[in-house]
Amino acid sequence: QVQLAESGGDSVQAGGSLRLSCAASGIIVSTNPMAWYRQPPGKQREFIAGISRGGQTNYADPVRGRFTISKDNAKNTVYLQMNNLKPEDTAVYYCNFLAFGVGSRYWGQGTQVTVSS
């Protein structure tokens, strides 16, 4: 059974940093393109960052230059380093397969990130 467990969300001040983790089981992150998505309050879920099996990365414009997606294959874990956080980054953050996109029928519990000004 696939399980993607997000953690690391918190309430922080604007300009601060957080590191989110996605511990995977039932899949091997080294062989599956993975991604982070988020859903701000009152808005649709959106793609923010992806990483290929070979480590190539891609970012949505609002987070490019501030967020970094990475993975530790030995730990079977995907990370999202979030720097220079802004209030508009406030959202529930999810990890998932890149191939499924925002239309995935499976979502974990996610982790809440709240950024205050």
Contacts of 83 (CB under 8 A, 6+ apart): 17, 66, 67, 68
Question: To 5 degrees, how large is the angle CA 76–CA 70–CA 59?
Answer: 135
Cα–Cα distances in Å, from 108 out to 7, 15, 77, 84, 105?
11, 27, 15, 26, 10
Question: To 5 degrees, how large is the angle CA 16–CA 116–CA 84?
Answer: 25
Q: Chain-wide mean pLDDT for the chain?
A: 97
Q: Which of 83, 82, 87, 85 is nearest to 117 (CA)?
A: 87
pLDDT of residue 94: 98
Residue 3: burial class (beta carbons within 10 Å; 0-12, 13-18, 19+): exposed
Question: To 5 degrees, how large is the angle CA 90–CA 38–CA 28?
Answer: 135
User: Residue 9: pLDDT above 90?
Assistant: yes
User: Residue 17: pLDDT above 90?
Assistant: yes
Taking only the tens place, the pLDDT of each residue in 62-111 is 999 999 999 999 999 999 999 999 999 999 999 999 999 999 999 999 99
Residue 81, token pair as written in the block: 């380093």
The Cα–Cα gap between 117 and 24 comes to 33
